Amino acid sequence: MSSPDDVLLDSLTSGLTPVKRLRSAPLWIGAAVGLVVALIYIFVFYGPRGDIVALMRGGALVNPMVIGKPAIFLVMGFSALWAVADLARPEGRLKLLHLLPVLAVFGLVLGNLLSEMAIFGTDNFARQLNGGGHVCFITILCGGMAGLVAMWRLWLRRTATSHPVLLGAMSGLAAASLMAAAYAIHCNMDAAIYLLLFYGTAVAVSSAIAALLGAKLLKW
C-alpha cells in the first residue's frame, strides 16, 4: 500500500524527463573551431608578421617569439578551458593544476621584464610600446568577447556550476587567450612590457567582464 508521501513523490516526478549529461567534447571542439576562425580572420584582414612570411618562403627561424608568443597564449587558453570543463558541474572546483600554466606564463613574462629593467632600465619602454597597442587591445578584447558569446550560446548556458563567477572568469580567460594567440601571428611586438600592458590587460578585462556576467547568467 502506497503512503501519501509516495503518491506525492510520484506526482511530482511523473512529468520529468532525463537530462543528458553535459559532455566537455563540444567545448573543446568549439574552441578549436573558434581558434581556426580567428586565425583565418587575422591572416586575411591583418596579415601575418614578417617573420612568418619569411618562414613561409623557406627562411630560417631567427626569432623564437614567432612561435613562442602564440604558444604561451595557447597554453593559457587551453588550461583555462580545462578549468571551465571541470567547473561546469556542481561538484567542480578550481584546482591549482588549472592555474599553474597561467601562473607559469605570467612568471616567465614578468621575469623577462624585470631582467630587461635590471640591464637597460626603462629607457627602451617608449620604443617597445610604440606599435599599435590600441589595435592589439581592442582586437583581443572584442575577439575574446565574441568567443565568449559563442561559448555561452553553444555550451555554457547548459552548465550547472556551483561557482558561477569563477566559471565566467575562466571562460573569459580562455576566449581572450585564444584570440591573443591568433592575433600573435600578426603582431611583431614581442617585448615583455608590451605583452603585459596590451595583451595582458585585454585578457584581464575580458576575464573580469566574463566574471561579472557569470554571476548573473550562470546561476541555477
Q: How far apart are CA 218 and CA 220, in angstroms?
A: 7
Q: Are residues 214 and 164 in contact, defined by beta-carbon separation less than 8 angstroms?
A: yes
Which cell goes with 11?
Answer: 506526482
- State the pLDDT at residue 13: 56
Q: How far apart are CA 84 and CA 99, in angstroms?
A: 12
pTM to 2 decimals? 0.88
Q: How far apart are CA 114 and CA 120, in angstroms?
A: 10
End-to-end CA distance of the chain: 37
Nearest in space to 173 (alpha carbons), one of 192, 151, 153 = 151
Q: Are residues 149 and 211 in contact, defined by beta-carbon separation less than 8 angstroms?
A: no
| pLDDT one-digit tens code per residue, 26-82 | 999 999 999 999 999 999 999 999 999 988 888 888 889 999 999 999 999 999 999
Helix residue ranges per DSSP H, the chain: 4-13, 25-45, 50-56, 65-87, 96-120, 125-128, 133-154, 164-183, 192-194, 201-217
Q: Are residues 113 and 196 in contact, defined by beta-carbon separation less than 8 angstroms?
A: yes
Q: Are residues 26 and 163 in contact, defined by beta-carbon separation less than 8 angstroms?
A: no
Residue in the structure block whose three cell numbers are 502506497: 2
Statement: residue 19 has pLDDT above 60: no
